[in-house]
Amino acid sequence: MILILKTGASEDQVAHVIARVEELGMRAHLSRGTYRTIVGIIGDENRIREEPLRAIPGVAEVVPVLPPYKLASLDAHPEPSVVDVSGVKIGGGNLGMIAGPCSVEDEDRMFRIARSVRDAGANLFRGGAYKPRTSPYAFQGLGEDGLKLLRDVGDRFGMPVVTEVTDVRCVDLVARYADMIQIGARNMQNFVLLTEVGRTNRPVLLKRGMSATVTDLLMSAEYVLSQGNPNVVLCERGVKGFDPATRNLFDVSAVPLVQTLSHLPIIVDPSHATGRPDLIPACALAGVAAGADGVHIEVHDCPEVAKSDGPQALLPDQYRELAAKIRQMAELLGKTISPLPQALT
């Protein structure tokens, strides 16, 4: 950690800063420049916090040398992590192909969609049993009945299932049915929820908040990791932009950026990022080309009757065509779409 002192800091203030650092059990290294005086702190940064250091008279800025997300950083784990979702691997050259409708709906439709995306190459099936909606009058999901149906679909087609938890009171219930628990964008900084999900043994899909920085995303992952759950997959799903032409701004640069900072896998969600089926294929391929460890795409066989987010869903034939292109790109990049974990029925 480095303390940058204020311009014109007095000798007494400099001496006091050094003394205070030493009182904290650290060593201080003084460096005087033409315009700035810097005090380097040598020792375990985990033993001190930034906030009290800023209050020392004469200190202008505190610059950590290590990132605040200790467990999510490359310093903690230099090699890329591989997250195993009931046999499907994500990360380390393995691509997760998550596909399915926004919401869990009727059984026949769920079976049709699951069969189509599985046959196209998807290896994880998604569907929301609990839906965080802007309007309290919009469809909120089928709850536990939706979870049961999602589990039946997963078992029937041999696909691990991904679903969102929106309430800390439902964590154990969702973990009972899901192979992977999703934390949506609206809950990315719901720290109580993150903590409870971290205490489960389920892999976690953590979506970037709509106005969150990459550091914010990694700090949220840290909450899960700090509870002993190492299986976190990050998801770039777009951030708020100023142009209404797309639902959000697809930040494809977040993919390689995260990979310079963290060992955690990161996938892309072009469905929520763009909100436009005509843009989803190009953005999905761009994400994979940028190094993403998978794609998360909404698919529905009749978007006009979908319970939620129908306008941004691909049709099954469109998904099949895109999945074939992703498979070709994966081969070009030396990556593998992780196969389904068991014989299909």
What is the predicted pLDDT for the residue at 247? 93
With a CB cutoff of 8 Å and minimum separation 6, the contacts of 209 are 185, 186, 188, 189, 216, 217, 220, 239
Q: Do 121 and 50 lie in a common domain?
A: no
What is the predicted pLDDT for the residue at 51? 62
Q: Do 181 and 280 lie in a common domain?
A: yes
What's the pLDDT tens digit per position in 202-230?
999 999 999 999 999 999 999 999 999 99
Q: What are the DSSP calls for 134-178, one per residue?
A: SSTTS----THHHHHHHHHHHHHHT--EEEE---GGGHHHHHHH-
**Residue 161 falls inside a structural domain:** yes
Q: How many domains does the chain have?
A: 2
Q: Do 183 and 330 lie in a common domain?
A: yes
Q: Buried b / exposed e across 232-258, counting CB within 10 Å, b at 16+?
A: bbbbbbbbeeeeeeebbebbbebbeeb
Give the torsion through C-alpha atoms of 256, 290, 268, 301, to 10 deg. 180
The tokens describing 319, both together, are 């998904």
Q: Do 144 and 290 lie in a common domain?
A: yes
**Where among 11, 35, 63 does a domain terminate?**
63
With a CB cutoff of 8 Å and minimum separation 6, the contacts of 268 are 235, 236, 237, 250, 252, 255, 283, 284, 287, 288, 292, 294, 295, 296
- Of 37-51, 66-80, 87-101, 328-342, which has the strongest mean pLDDT? 87-101
**Residue 47 falls inside a structural domain:** yes
Q: Do 48 and 135 lie in a common domain?
A: no
307: domain CATH number is: 3.20.20.70
- The boundaries of the domain holding residue 229 are 83-337
Q: Do 87 and 235 lie in a common domain?
A: yes
Q: Do 55 and 141 lie in a common domain?
A: no
Q: Do 159 and 37 lie in a common domain?
A: no
For the whole model, what pTM was predicted?
A: 0.86
- Does the pLDDT value for residue 343 go beyond 60? no
- Does the pLDDT value for residue 344 go beyond 70? no
- Of 16-20, 140-144, 183-187, 309-313, which has the strongest mean pLDDT? 183-187
**Residue 74 falls inside a structural domain:** no
**Residue 68 falls inside a structural domain:** no
Q: Do 29 and 101 lie in a common domain?
A: no
What's the pLDDT tens digit per position in 265-301?
999 999 999 999 999 999 999 999 999 999 999 999 9
* Average of per-residue pLDDT across 31-51: 75
**Residue 270 falls inside a structural domain:** yes
DSSP, res 262:
B
**Residue 22 falls inside a structural domain:** yes
Q: Do 179 and 319 lie in a common domain?
A: yes
- Does the pLDDT value for residue 75 go beyond 60? yes
24: domain CATH number is: 3.30.70.1140
Q: Do 286 and 199 lie in a common domain?
A: yes
**Where among 18, 35, 63 does a domain terminate?**
63
Q: Do 15 and 136 lie in a common domain?
A: no
